[in-house]
């Protein structure tokens, strides 16, 4: 019975989170409560509690995690200074006159905005407010418009540079080192956040292309579902080249500067994030959208999101320490190792677990609660760390999009007009979920899609 305490512990944490209590406080409170109970009945080693302060200090001085507030600042500045709105207008000028063109514009803008923030809720809400009224006015089918916005909002899980990949890269790197130390390798190889960024580029671009292709096919087969924009909606005398130069070039250059400096080894993720933050301010200044009010609101939002992330990291650190104190890591290893089918079965079980947890937990909790526990075990079975990181990112993205519990659906529902039924949103995302699942299958069959570019760089 004692050996089942870790599973009971994990179940109670999930139930408390489902009840709606704050994530960081739930993780901390339930963990310390179980630790106290375990100490009283003599089944918990208090040495694991004594390790917690050092582990929290390690989080607070981690150089890679310093990039989190900088990336949040960059994305929030692009959003609050109306650069995203300007980008959408210019992309509509470029593509809007074609069938499905507005939808493709939304996908491109969503990709850039998602890459700069990586926060699903922020991207879906922003794109919903900016794009949904226009798509409905043009005559897009409500389910298609809603599905497109929900799907593009989750692209931040896989398009670098994003907070999701920064945090996931940090955890995968630690898990890889832990596996090597457990195997007696005392000069371990390292997997960097830049490696995971490189591994995510090809799958991310494939996903964007698949979304755009689906939109184009729908527009060709059913023109009434995704009609072109009228000339008066595009603006009189709209110049495509000017729109490309003014709208697309500046944010793309910013993304290339940030991502390129990391991939080329010129800058660390934190240094590149600082380039992005300063670059976003310069773009806002050029567009005359930067003032004290905008800077204040961006700074407040950055502090709010960063505080949330770090509080959850602290809670997840306490959770993992207590979970290990009860022998939870050994129990998980025994369960995964005993599965028939070896690494394939173990990976499938972990992916299913992460998928269903994505209905009730955000990517930060899953990244720091689940991945550190299962990562070293899967890597010990011969799984490539970069491929595993990319698979987890795409899997989480799919989970956040899947009805009826996907986070992305609820975020869009909060800003969608009342006349759009929830069932329309659910129907709209189904084709995009199928595209996501196809990408997961393709990555499983062709791991080189994730591992080739990092090996070249």
Quote the tokens at residue 130. Answer: 């900016």
Q: How far apart are CA 371 and CA 366, in angstroms?
A: 7
**Residue pair 428/143 in contact by the 8 Å Cβ criterion:** yes
Q: How far apart are CA 46 and CA 240, in angstroms?
A: 66
Q: pTM of the full predicted structure?
A: 0.86
Residue 162 has a pLDDT of: 78
Q: How far apart are CA 378 and CA 373, in angstroms?
A: 10
Taking 70 as the threshold, does the pLDDT of residue 200 lie above it?
yes
DSSP state of 28: H
Q: Quick one: pLDDT band at residue 231, thresholds 50, 70, 90?
A: low
What is the rounded average pLDDT of the residues 272-280?
88
pLDDT in tens, 157-181: 888 877 888 888 888 888 888 777 7
Quote the tokens at residue 258. Answer: 């940030």
pLDDT in tens, 265-274: 888 888 888 8
Q: Quick one: pLDDT band at residue 445, thresholds 50, 70, 90?
A: very high
Hey, CA dihedral for 406, 409, 415, 421, is it positive or negative? negative
Of 362, 399, 402, 425, residue with least CA distance to 22: 362
């Amino acid at each position: 019975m004692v050996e089942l305490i870790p599973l009971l512990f994990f179940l109670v944490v999930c139930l408390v989170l489902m009840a709606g209590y704050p994530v960081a406080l739930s993780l901390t409170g339930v963990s310390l409560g179980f630790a106290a109970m375990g100490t009283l009945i003599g089944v918990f080693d208090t040495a694991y509690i004594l390790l917690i302060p050092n582990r929290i200090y390690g989080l607070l001085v981690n150089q890679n995690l310093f990039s989190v507030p900088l990336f949040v600042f960059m994305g929030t500045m692009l959003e609050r200074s109306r650069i995203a709105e300007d980008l959408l207008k210019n992309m509509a000028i470029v593509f809007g006159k074609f069938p499905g063109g507005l939808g493709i514009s939304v996908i491109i803008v969503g990709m850039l905005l998602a890459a700069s923030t990586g926060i699903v809720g922020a991207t879906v809400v922003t794109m919903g407010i900016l794009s949904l009224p226009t798509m409905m006015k043009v005559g897009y089918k409500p389910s298609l418009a809603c599905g497109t916005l929900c799907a593009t909002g989750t692209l931040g899980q896989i398009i670098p540079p994003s907070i999701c990949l920064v945090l996931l890269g940090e955890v995968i790197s630690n898990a890889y080192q832990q596996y090597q130390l457990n195997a007696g390798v005392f000069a371990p190889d390292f997997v960097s956040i830049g490696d995971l960024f490189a591994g995510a580029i090809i799958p991310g671009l494939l996903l964007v292309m698949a979304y755009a292709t689906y939109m184009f096919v729908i527009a060709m087969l059913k023109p009434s579902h995704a009609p072109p924009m009228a000339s008066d909606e595009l603006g009189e005398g709209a110049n495509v080249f000017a729109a490309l130069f003014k709208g697309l070039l500046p944010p793309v250059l910013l993304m290339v500067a940030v991502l390129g400096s990391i991939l080329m080894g010129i800058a660390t993720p934190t240094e590149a994030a600082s380039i992005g933050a300063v670059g976003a301010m310069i773009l806002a200044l050029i567009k005359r959208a930067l003032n004290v009010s905008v800077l204040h609101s961006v700074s407040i939002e950055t502090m709010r999101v960063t505080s949330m992330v770090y509080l959850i990291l602290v809670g997840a650190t306490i959770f993992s320490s207590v979970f290990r104190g009860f022998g939870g890591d050994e129990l998980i290893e025994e369960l995964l190792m005993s599965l028939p089918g070896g690494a394939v079965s173990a990976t499938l079980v972990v992916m299913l677990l992460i998928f269903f947890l994505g209905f009730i937990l955000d990517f930060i909790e899953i990244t720091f609660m689940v991945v550190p526990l299962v990562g070293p075990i899967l890597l010990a079975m011969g799984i490539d760390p970069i491929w595993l990181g990319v698979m987890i990112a795409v899997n989480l993205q799919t989970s956040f999009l899947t009805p009826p519990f996907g986070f992305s659906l609820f975020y869009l529902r909060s800003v969608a007009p009342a006349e759009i039924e929830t069932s329309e949103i659910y129907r709209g995302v189904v084709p995009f979920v199928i595209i996501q699942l196809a990408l997961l299958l393709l990555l499983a069959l062709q791991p080189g899609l994730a591992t080739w570019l990092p090996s070249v760089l």
